[in-house]
Amino acid sequence: MSNLKILVVEDEEAIREMLVMVLEQANLTVIAVGSAEQARESLADNMVDLIILDWMLPGISGVELARRLKNEPGYKELPIILLTARGEEEDKIRGLEIGADDYVTKPFSPKELIARIKAVMRRSGKLSESGQLSVGDLTLDAEQHKLTIAGRSLEVSPTEFRLMQFFMTNPDKVYSRTHLLDQVWGRSVYIEERTVDVHIRRLRKILAEYGREELIQTVRGFGYRFSMAN
Amino acid sequence: MSNLKILVVEDEEAIREMLVMVLEQANLTVIAVGSAEQARESLADNMVDLIILDWMLPGISGVELARRLKNEPGYKELPIILLTARGEEEDKIRGLEIGADDYVTKPFSPKELIARIKAVMRRSGKLSESGQLSVGDLTLDAEQHKLTIAGRSLEVSPTEFRLMQFFMTNPDKVYSRTHLLDQVWGRSVYIEERTVDVHIRRLRKILAEYGREELIQTVRGFGYRFSMAN
DNA sequence: GCGCTATATTACCGTTTTGTGACAAAAAAA
DNA sequence: TTTTTTTGTCACAAAACGGTAATATAGCGC
């Protein structure tokens, strides 16, 4: 779950520190602020992947901030987890109505919080498939950001790494160039379809050094497939 | 602050987990139980260096357990930190009268808790601060603030030392410049991301004198990684 | 084989990212 | 105080990355 940035909005310092520690422990990048106003500033400067928002805040309350964000086009998709005092059942309902993606009650268990973050991230498709992916003797470790074949590490560029990550997460299926562009490059960029060929070529070249170029197969008329089976 | 064993007595699971995480993060060994009775059993089996005790417990309360322990010859010297709900000022006084060594209010800040534990440990002379980290033939001694490679000591500046300390504590993982800044420099300090590069460079230069510059690896597009493996 | 299309391969080159030395301010030491 | 060390920033150099286009090759129906 690396490389995700979380914005924590909590006015009480002890709890804020607690949150920061728990989140950093879980390998997340954290920005912590104490009010809705500061949260706004942070959002303007930083792209964050999720907000953890205290229900009660001085000035503009957490619920209010959540409600507003969920009505703004730019932040509609930004997952929000609300932090509420224990047992306020109506709060939970109201929070979810407003559009919060989940909520956690104080005091919170670190495990639970992390689990909920993961769940929300997974739902919004932001979870970058943590841990180790293995296909045959190929291993991709997201944490180390390292790709190895039979223990020897491969030198791949960032884009190649992401492409490989995608392939290893979805093996044995054909993907069109368009689909690959969407998934690996991101929906918002327009790039020539042919560019995919070039990156496939680069990956194959690297794999070929270990006699594994057949891992990435061409499916004429459709696209490419990553598979152990020939 | 390693090699110290802490017994946590707290009935509420969320808070118990929280405590465990915070303490383990601080390199302490933790045993966590949910009641005074279980605490008794644990004490019979394990030698612990400090107890963190919730004021309110089902059955025999925390205060009561503290009072009893402080009257038993075998446990008289065992430091106890009481956990109380916020703002119960009389509790504090009563707690200290009973013989508790310190108290912390919920919700607690991780930093504060660790600081108080350290203080209590120091007072009772248990703080040995034998923080030795070793990775390969690299050794970092937190106590002496000394970094040695195969016995020969390296001349590193304070910041470089902390950076190295962080890396050696978290090997084999990529960290972004932002993450490193947060962890090594501390959040709330605004420093150019590229400054990290410079410090990495300085560390590498020192390591290079011993042919070990490859210990710190660049992961293009992501950050840096400390690892023995190539 | 021929013609057509899809894919492979290569080279190019602007852009981005990282490395590096120098410098000055700040902090620490003397 | 003066001197020395430490540290953050900058500017430029070096390296790498990544998209494009041009060209070559391969697949396939006829």
Name the residue ranges covered by the structural domains of chain B: 5-123, 132-226
Chain B residue with the nearest C-alpha to that of A104: B14
Task: Kindly tell me the burial class for residue B95, based on how many C-beta atoms sit within 10 Å of its own C-beta (0-12, 13-18, 19 or more).
Answer: buried
* Chain C positions with any atom < 7 A from a protein CB: 6-11, 17-22
8-state DSSP, B47: -
CA distance B74 to chain A (A): 34
Please determine, for residue A35, whether its predicted confidence score (pLDDT) is greater than 80: yes
pLDDT band at A125; cut points 50, 70, 90: low
CB pair distance less than 8 Å for B179 and A29? yes
Is the minimum CB–CB distance between A85 and chain B shorter than 8 Å? no
**Residue contact A18–B109, C-beta within 8 A:** yes
Confidence band of B121 (pLDDT split at 50, 70, 90): confident
As given in the structure block, the two tokens for residue B102 are: 């310190």
CA of B197 to C1' of C19 (A): 8
pLDDT of residue B30: 92
Q: Which among B156, B154, B176, B171 is positioned nearest to B228, based on CA atoms? A: B171
- By CA distance, what is B106's nearest residue in A? A14
Taking the C-alpha atoms of residue A181 and residue B205, their distance in angstroms, rounded to an integer, is 40
Interface test with A, best of B109, B228, B230 (most A CBs within 10 A): B109
Whether A158 sits inside 8 A of B109 (CB atoms) is no
Contact between A54 and A11 (Cβ < 8 Å): yes
- Give the Cα separation of B88 and B227 in Å (integer): 49
Q: Are B84 and B95 contacting, i.e. CB atoms less than 8 angstroms apart?
A: yes
Name which of A33, A132, A127 is nearest A79 in CA terms: A127
Kindly state the average pLDDT of the residues A148-156.
92
Across the interface, which of A17, A144, A157 has its CB nearest the CB of B173? A144
- State whether CATH 1.10.3720.10 applies to domain B132-226: no
Is the CB of A71 inside 8 Å of chain B's CB atoms?
Answer: no
Q: Which helix (H) or strand (E) covers residue A117, if one does?
A: helix A110-123
Work out the average pLDDT over A125-143.
Answer: 78
Between B177 and A72, where is the model more confident? B177
Distance spanning both ends of chain B, measured CA to CA: 31
| pLDDT score, position A106 | 82
Query: Which pLDDT score, from 0 to 100, does residue B88 have?
Result: 61
Q: Does residue B91 register a pLDDT over 70?
A: no
**pLDDT score for A208:** 94
Mean pLDDT, rounded, for A191-200: 95
| Mean per-residue pLDDT, B174-196 | 90
pTM: 0.72
- Distance (Å) from the alpha carbon of A222 to chain B's nearest alpha carbon: 31
Closest C-alpha among B179, B167, B175 to residue B228: B167
Contact residues, chain B, for A42 at CB < 8 Å: none
pLDDT at B86: 63
Please give the nucleotide, over all strands, whose C1' is closest to the CA of residue A224. Answer: C7
Q: What is the pLDDT of residues B53-69, one digit of tens each?
A: 998 899 898 888 998 88
How does residue B131 score in pLDDT terms, banded at 50, 70 and 90?
low
On the question of pLDDT at B94 being above 80, the answer is no
What are A83's strand-pairing partners? A54, A104
Mean pLDDT over each residue of chain B, to the nearest integer:
86
Helix (H) or strand (E) holding B85: strand B80-85
Residues from chain A contacting residue B18 (CB–CB below 8 Å): 18, 22, 107-110
Superfamily of domain A5-123: Response regulator (3.40.50.2300)
Least-confidence region, from A72-86, B120-134, B178-192: B120-134
The residues of the protein lying within 7 Å (CB) of strand D read A 155-160, 185, 189-192, 194-195, 198-199, 220; B 155, 157-160, 185, 190-192, 194-195, 198-199, 202, 220-221
| Token pair listed for B204 | 């590498």
